Copies of this chain bind each other. A is one copy, B any other.
């Protein structure tokens, strides 16, 4: 397998470090808009790693990416960029006859009149609309295969297959007790993506009603996270799981709640009030910039904060339903301790946790245990080998009966 990895930010760099320990692929071409970032990721792997090479590419330029896929004879494109680059990369892979993986799906746009009640364009709609073309080409677009969406969706499928006869609710819950020394405010994940997901109308799925939206930060709830993280206030946030899981897993309700904490919520509300969350450019003394890009540029790069971070991050899927006639409730989860991921991989916990899953998925695709054509989420596949391989990568998951 020859892989084109697009994006050498925090997640992309962690992907190279995780993949370097595996033998399932022949080459990985690491590319980025900023060649130096790609080169740094490759150089950090050491002299012995001849399977990796660095290239420059503009992820927004579909033809350039397709040309690079052909030139490097890659079988698969792994997208580790901001979600705004999903459409050109997804189309470039199809154009070049390659498979495609991403960790976030094509962006939503709110309903023009009733944004906090009805869906407009949903996350991934742009990709699912092209499912026929992918099926026809016999190629696989494995979408949303990071940790959330991704591992959370594997957990949902696993619960449906092995733990429940009937599922009432699948609620993905994400929380952490991470702190960053020396900064008043330092998000541990891409602020661009965090703003996107937190300020868009959150989406909920119900079997009788279909997908619908609420106001941002709705339905606050305290969830008790495992392994010493403890209780964190979680709120509804727009996330791909809610769009993916109901397509393949039978449940009455699907939600996603994020443990943001009060200070972070207030900060996001202020950015929105001032229009600093906007992605359309504004004119500033003769140049055009996107305010959200400026916010990101003002904050430390989350990928560089690992040394100053302390604590653990948890991603998981809370499932309520019935098994053998009795009510059952479980939380399937995956915890990464920043101290461990820094010591083992030199990557901070949140980006490492995102990065490990597409590498596991690629390995399953490479050896044929996961195969298919079309636009498919992780819950469309057998969850067992994924969970086994994740554990084999040194990163076990847990199950808590509630």
Contact = CB atoms under 8 A, between A and B. Distances in A.
A81 to B, nearest CB: 13
A369 B278 CA distance: 52
Main secondary structure of the interface of A (DSSP, over half): mixed
Nearest to A277: B298
Given A287-B287, A287-B289, A289-B289, A297 B273 contact: no
A294 interface: yes
Chain multiplicity (copies):
2
Interface string A276-301: 10100011110111110111011100
A194 interface: no
A324 interface: no
A288 B293 CA distance: 12
A266 interface: yes
Contacts of A391: none
B289 A276 contact: no
B297 A274 contact: no
A399 to B, nearest CB: 39
A149 B285 CA distance: 28
Given A274-B185, A274-B267, A276-B276, A293 B285 contact: yes
A162 interface: no
- Please give me the 7 A-B residue pairs with the lowest Cβ-Cβ distance, nearest first: A275-B298, A270-B270, A287-B287, A282-B297, A294-B294, A185-B273, A184-B273
